[in-house]
Amino acid sequence: MNIRKIAKVFKSVPTIEGAGVHLKRGFGYYQTPLFDPFLMLDDFHSSKPEEYLAGFPWHPHRGIETITYILEGVVEHGDSMGNRGVIGAGDVQWMTAGSGIIHQEMPQKSPTGTMWGFQFWANLPASQKMMAPRYRDVPAATIPLVTLDSGVTVKLVSGQLNGVEGPVKDIVIEPELMDVTIPPGTLFEHRIKHGHTAVAYLLSGSGKFDEGLDPYSFDYSGNGWMDLERGCSFGPETVVLYERKGDAIRVSSGKEGVRFLLLAGKPLGEPIAWGGPIVMNTKEELRIAFEEYNSGKFIKK
């Protein structure tokens, strides 16, 4: 097994999106070539309702898929296809905007006082950017929890592990989305297709994500003074981007264990023209999209 090495490490950056939602951005606009086919990862985690209740009122999307995963709290959803619903702890919403959709995502006051969730954006290839929109509600009860002999547990949203397949299938970028929890002092290995992008986003605990254990062998974008503080073990709100060479990742947990989201998918290698909530291949396609939105012709029948 050829174990992958780390390419780059990032710390998430505080920002405000929507109508005033405080969140941490793991990666986004300027880093798209590195994370292809993924465009963005946002982590919204707060115990202050004023930091999340404003939500994301009605807005359009075209050319992408948006994936929302909730750990704690409640989010109401509505869209131009007539879908209405609520996603709560452990639920996933996988929405393919395709040719165009207008929707809103409105966090509600959390029963526990804390709202914690994630949204990923995944790109669509040019051949499918104008496909018919679709919406997938993935309740927590339908997401398998795989327990390995080592004690590692994996919530499997998409992809395969130990002969078990996640409920989200038939996606063009062949995504894997897993919520991985590793007990203290335990090793986890997972095969990933050669050439596919692989990203880990740490939620809690700490772990080592590169068997070389050399903090100077990869690029590091941290929040320390001049990035002088480096280590081999990473903690919460860290993004680990792997090299595309190799067919597996290996993670060893620290004394408190580690929990992280694992995201993998097939790169598209296509030009990206990004304008707010719309991602196309050319500036002309962007111009048409916004012109259609402003003239009421955005939604296709």
Q: Domains of the chain: which residue ranges? A: 6-295
Res 228: pLDDT = 65
Homologous superfamily of 6-295? Jelly Rolls (2.60.120.10)
**Can you give the pTM of this predicted structure?**
0.94
Upstream peptide bond of 37 is cis (omega within 30 degrees of 0): yes
What pLDDT score does 225 carry?
59
What pLDDT does residue 144 have?
Answer: 98
- The values of phi and psi at residue 300, to 5°, are -95, 145
| The pLDDT of residue 219 | 81
pLDDT at res. 187: 97
User: Given the DSSP bridges, would you call strands 219-221 and 6-11 parallel, antiparallel or unpaired?
Assistant: parallel
What confidence score (pLDDT) does residue 231 get?
76
Query: Residue 153: exposed, middle, or buried by beta-carbon count in 10 A (0-12, 13-18, 19+)?
Result: middle
Nearest-CA neighbor of 114 among 155, 161, 72, 85? 72
| Per-residue pLDDT of the chain in tens (301 residues, 90 and over written 9) | 899 999 999 999 999 999 999 999 999 998 999 999 999 999 999 999 999 999 999 999 999 999 999 999 999 999 999 999 899 999 999 999 999 999 999 999 888 889 999 999 999 999 999 999 999 999 999 999 999 999 999 999 999 999 999 999 989 899 999 999 999 999 999 999 999 999 999 999 999 998 877 777 788 776 665 666 677 889 999 999 999 999 999 999 999 999 999 999 999 999 999 999 999 999 999 999 999 999 999 999 7
